[in-house]
Structure 1
């Protein structure tokens, strides 16, 4: 199963650590499945998706320089290449 890495704010991480009994990766997986189901069922437009993700996400998206997204994409692409190129067949 592929892995996804994402960042969360420190205050959220602190709150999550108070509940070690919860499998947070499963919570994230279920949230992603739910969003995909809604997107695919409704074929949401970009504006509708941004509304679903919330005002804070939209604000962060608008305030982040394009270069930061480009750098993150390059790092992700390189990490994926590195993982695939070192996998035994």
Structure 2
């Protein structure tokens, strides 16, 4: 950080916090409207991971 003393690190951090808060609010809103159960989400995640892994192995 000392190398880039001209950067306003407080502003950088504030922007990062704002983005994270926005992302969390979006997730919370999406989650409140979802009918997907946690079990379904975990199952879909596992299937997606397996599919992506197979795709990566082919390349």
Please, what TM-score do these two structures have when normalized by structure 1?
0.37
RMSD of aligned Cα (Å): 2.6
CA distance in 2 between partners of 1:66 and 1:75 (Å): 14
Instruction: Extract unaligned runs of 5+ from structure 1.
Output: 1-39
Give the alignment of 1:47-86 within 5 angstroms. Answer: 49-51=23-25, 53=26, 55=29, 57-61=30-34, 63-86=35-58
Please, what TM-score do these two structures have when normalized by structure 2?
0.50
Instruction: Extract unaligned runs of 5+ from structure 2.
Output: 1-14
| Higher relative helix content | 2
* Larger RCO, structures 1/2 (Cα 8 Å, 6+ apart): 1
* Rg (Cα) greater in structure: 2
